[in-house]
Copies of this chain bind each other. A is one copy, B any other.
């Protein structure tokens, strides 16, 4: 029985978004499933003592160009949103709240949140936008709104982010295949070879 692929990402990460549109097809091709793990890159940047890459002089300008070109390269519809980047703690909490009840629907919510932000430009740092997106998928708006402020949901989200950091997640996307870590949508070619050959 092949292990699922672990897919870590931040909802404000363009490269994570591109990966989210390709990861399931890659996994399925090699008889795998995907475990989705939204996390908060801010926790990583804090530990590393660094700023978000797009805020870094020189690098930031390059990255904005590369986000768009990489999306075209991978055949993924993408528009750099404004504001960008945004806080994604509400999106993350919505995911983990739903994942405890309906895991498959939580993955669909993750895709909807990513699409809302990177295709439609909806500000997903806004709690009410997260609630609307959840409601459009059949979640109860009041229940979801309450969950986003619920201490147990906050604790669950924090525990998931801590677990990601403890595992070495240092960026988005970050994919683990049988304990081998791959950081970046630009590692899809290496992931493909790894899955096909069992390692190289």
Residues of A within 8 A of B (CB): 44, 47-50, 56-59, 61-62, 65-66, 69-70, 72-73, 165, 168-171, 181, 183-184, 186-187, 189-190, 193, 200
Contacts and interface: CB of A to CB of B under 8 A. Distances in A.
25 contacts: A44-B58, A47-B57, A47-B58, A48-B56, A48-B57, A48-B58, A48-B59, A49-B56, A49-B57, A50-B56, A58-B165, A58-B168, A58-B169, A59-B170, A59-B171, A61-B168, A62-B168, A65-B181, A66-B183, A69-B200, A70-B190, A72-B200, A73-B190, A186-B187, A189-B189
A148 to B, nearest CB: 28
Contacts of A200: 69, 72-73
Is chain A's binding surface mostly helix, strand, loop or mixed?
helix
Give this chain's copy count. Answer: 2
Contact of A183 (B48, B62, B181): B62
A165 B59 CA distance: 11
A52 to B, nearest CB: 12
A73 B197 CA distance: 12
